[in-house]
Structure 1
């Protein structure tokens, strides 16, 4: 399986899932998803479908005039009965609601949304109303009048220098693991160390990491080719620590690991297949548990790399480029506290009167 094929398979799974979710939505929304297909990714459309499913469920359960209207009977003209106040009520509903369990109808799952979750769902509703208003299917666009919930930015969680060293030591030695985890550690430690070192040494996304094939490694230039969001292929460069960890793992992969000889993936699971994102997420959590009280995920390792790179270079544009951020403002928002610290430090360097 080539790397492009791996990403194509992911896209195919998302497309299939999108079709399944669309069957639970009103029939008229098919034109909406077709209409935005050229300007959005399959992953984005799938997220919209999930969020719109919640919106139409809310209308069925709560709306003053549309309550009780089955999804299959909902038409585009019904959108004219929805006001901006109704959408405000929907955002309030999202704070806490029960998601039905189709396998066990008498039970449901409690769901909560913070400002970020509400904003994302509002974006899906806005996109739909904007589309049908632009097509003159509906008379007004009430969603455009609804304010986006104010998002309270949380401090960026990252490993500090000592924690990073302790984290990698924990991966290498397995000392912080439970007895049960230690039983498997000897078989996987070189793979795990190579993955964690690569994530911390390049800032790549976990989805990019699991998508790497052996042929994507370029040891001559200390580089690895990854496929970024949107399908662009780029080379990320790494240092000697990453190189050594990769070489150690590759030697083990070649000589001892169980694998399908035709499996091109760099990182393999215990079954000899391409390792999955969820497995890596669990791996990071497992090793971080004994090292820090912070909630560490693969994305936090990415933040750790971004912080280190910015502190070393002071170049926000370089950090944005290496992390693959389409908009430098996204990067700037994440590292605003570091920028503020640099500005404070700069102020102390200025002397108005010589001693």
Structure 2
């Protein structure tokens, strides 16, 4: 099991203990087919649902573990409508349409399992009545809609190199009066530039970056061996190529990895950080990489830029020079439907390129 999956599995094992027995049974049923990260999202969605049921008096449970099957059976359509309204308008930190759709879909999955798959000792369904079967979920996450939201919020053309250059040099000028920030930058700028350049020149997911080991890197052939999302064979690492532009930053980081981060021999992780109060480097976490990108992006003047938008930035640029099938393979998508986002994103890019040609 890869490093990120191990971390998510531990969190899942802890979180599921706060759920009723039938949710634990459902998670066990889904575990062979879904990643621990996805199942963690299920658990969080059920926490939201059960907390709401208890707050509304639809469950007499004193905590989520005591929510009963009978209470789920007694739910009516108007209760689910109220819950959806709660998610969209009443809950602190309003949810997007996509998030609401996912939370309702999570509930549907659980209710379907309880009413159609799971059985009691007498071979009857655990849930006799499934109110969620009456709830229709409209498809929200369409490639064209996703593309529309991404336009103007990714790096384009020269900005890819500019952002890496800013991490190496520009950021220091902006925090010149902050000794702590300046010290941290001086320590980590080569590492941070290498991570950023690698994503912008290969399209890796943040979890794939976290899981990279030192021996997964073949700089000479510009290739990495990566655990791909959705691959059930946890022993297989797929070869993923990166562009020449990432080679210098990666080579520079590799030269100083040992001396700068004092990694013990047992530490196989490629990208390291030294935790506060410790002397030896440890594998960077997903959260640390996400926070690092946001830190630079905010100072760079693009506060909406995230690790995943760096991946989108690469994909858009890559798609302009390749077809949808090569882009799908490079990004590790399960189907071309997901990759269609970049076909829509590049419509405007191609249009702008034509206009520039005419003007020249």
TM-score range, shorter chain: 0.7 to 0.9
* CA deviation string 1:79-118 (max 9, x = no partner): 22112332121111112556xxxxxxxxxxx342121111
Query: Contact 2:115–2:128 (CA<8 Å) still a contact in 1?
Result: yes
Give TM-score, length-normalised by structure 2.
Answer: 0.81
The 10-residue stretch of structure 1 (122-131 or 239-248) with the greater mean CA deviation from structure 2: 239-248
1:340 CA drift (Å): 7.0
Superposed CA deviations along residues 252-286 of structure 1, whole A, max 9, x for unmatched, are: 22444432233222211134111222222222122
Q: Does the 8 Å CA contact 1:32/1:131 hold for their aligned counterparts?
A: yes
Q: Give the structure 1 partner of residue 200 of structure 2.
A: 200
Superposed, 1:235-314 pairs within 5 Å as: 235-270=239-274, 271-313=280-322
1:175-194 Cα deviation digits (max 9, x unpaired): 45312222332222221221
Aligned partner (choices 315, 323, 331) of residue 331 of structure 2: 323
Structure-2 change in CA distance of 1:140 and 1:273 (3 Å): same
Change over 3 Å in CA distance of 1:334–1:146 after alignment to 2: farther
Give the deviation of 1:149 after TM superposition: 5.7
Q: How does 1:1-355 map to 2 (within 5 A)?
A: 7=2, 9-62=3-56, 66-70=58-62, 71-96=64-89, 110-135=92-117, 136-148=125-137, 151=140, 153=146, 154-156=148-150, 157-173=153-169, 174-179=171-176, 180=178, 181-230=181-230, 231=234, 232-270=236-274, 271-313=280-322, 315-339=323-347
Structure 1 portions without partners, runs of 5+ = 99-109, 347-355
Classify the secondary structure of the residue corresponding to 2:47: helix
CA-based RMSD: 2.6
Q: 1:219 to 1:23 in 2, by over 3 A?
A: closer
1:224 is paired with a residue whose SS is strand
Query: CA, structure 1 residues 342+278, in 2 after alignment: closer, same or farther (shift >3 Å)?
Result: same
Q: Can you give the 5+ residue segments of structure 2 that lack an aligned partner in the other structure?
A: 118-124, 275-279, 355-360
Go from structure 1 to structure 2 and tell me whether the alpha carbon gap of 1:345 and 1:164 turns closer, same or farther (over 3 Å shift): closer
Assess if the C-alpha contact under 8 Å between 2:154 and 2:305 holds in 1.
yes
Work out the number of aligned pairs and report it.
326
CA distance in 1, matches of 2:353, 2:198: 32
CA deviation after TM superposition for structure 1 residue 311, in Å: 0.9
CA distance in 1: counterparts of 2:248 and 2:97, whole angstroms: 43
The SS at the match of 1:260 is coil
Instruction: Kindly indicate whether the alpha-carbon contact (under 8 Å) linking 2:42 and 2:106 is maintained by their aligned counterparts in 1.
Output: yes
